[in-house]
Amino acid sequence: MSKQQRYVVMGGAGFLGSHLCERLVGEGHEVVAVDNFITGSASNVAHLAGTPLFSLVEADVSVSLPVEGQVDAVLNFASPASPVDYLEHPIETLHVGSLGTMNGLELARAQGARFIMASTSEVYGDPQIHPQTEDYWGHVNPVGPRSVYDEAKRFSEALVTGYRTTYGTDTGIVRIFNTFGPRMRPNDGRAIPNFVRQSLRGDPITIAGDGSQTRSICYVDDLVTGILALTRSSLAGPVNIGNPHEISMLELAQWIVKLVGSSSETVHIERPVDDPTVRRPDITLAQRELGWEPEVSADEGLRRTIEWFREHPEVTGL
């Protein structure tokens, strides 16, 4: 993969998609980002607009994927990904997980390209096995409020597998655990942007429930490295990519308040229905098959994220 490649990044103007585009362009590859801007923003990739290696296509991938010419890899990162977003756009989330994934697979199939599906640790639901390994089938409520996202991703995994076994399409599935970093939307409802924004404002930090529920947090640069390692391999997956650094939400809030130097106090709000109690990836497969493991410490990643929020008040509303 040392020669120039042409990548299509579905959802390329979103948080994760924009970081993938940035890395690929920085490596000298041609990138076509496709986004309908439901949760993404052209501002996330505006700094790439001046290079001939990058183009941005506004389109709903659930309807069509208007990309012409040779393609070497299709990376499907098109979906609302936070509870606030997919609860606001439930049908769109189901469409992009099914029809959007199929359109991406059809493009990859026609071009003989590698297809990478961005799945999620949410397929494990509220897990009964800890940490979570790829052979765990999950504990998901198929009719709960989170099901529009959970089941969309579970269906997309099944669809990817079907194309691989039926048509021989070169596919890989990555199950992404909680990721954070610059360009997260401050109001997307996820813990880290919420806590950072509230701390910088001096507002109360809102903790769901008693805050004992855990997540494992991975800095976005590490995630991108893992995704590209999977893309450039022949591994079908699914493979967990995430940082095993597990922390409770209360501890995370207190840590961010300390890093910000804020006087914010914590307040407790109602915990969402079906909110997972624990979440931590077993990354043995990624270590063994991809030679990948996270390198950026959670502390360093949080410092970088906080600094980005401070430097972009036009985005963060600070």
Number of domains in the chain: 1
DSSP output for 265-303: PEEEEPPPTT--S---B--HHIIIII-----S-HHHHHH
pLDDT of residue 312: 87
Nearest Cα neighbor of 101 from 155, 137, 145, 34 is: 155
pLDDT of residue 317: 62
- Token pair belonging to 301: 């990643």
149 is catalytic: yes
Asked whether residue 307 is domain-assigned, the answer is no
Q: Any idea what the CATH number is for the domain that residue 119 is in?
A: 3.40.50.720
Of the residues 86, 149, 163, 219, which is catalytic?
149
Asked whether residue 84 is domain-assigned, the answer is yes
Positions of the chain with pLDDT lower than 50, given as ranges: 1
pLDDT, tens digit, for every residue of 231-256?
Answer: 999 999 999 999 999 999 999 999 99
Asked whether residue 311 is domain-assigned, the answer is no
pLDDT of residue 1: 47
Asked whether residue 209 is domain-assigned, the answer is no
pLDDT mean across residues, the chain: 95
CA-to-CA distance for 125 and 13, rounded, in angstroms?
27
- Measure Cα distances from 144 to 7, 31, 89, 122, 176 in Å: 35, 37, 15, 13, 21
Asked whether residue 68 is domain-assigned, the answer is yes
Its pTM stands at 0.95
- Domain residues for the domain of 288 are 6-182+217-244+278-295
pLDDT of residue 189: 87
Asked whether residue 312 is domain-assigned, the answer is no
CA-to-CA distance for 32 and 26, rounded, in angstroms?
14
CA-to-CA distance for 88 and 78, rounded, in angstroms?
16
Asked whether residue 157 is domain-assigned, the answer is yes
CA-to-CA distance for 28 and 261, rounded, in angstroms?
40
Three-class DSSP category at 3: coil
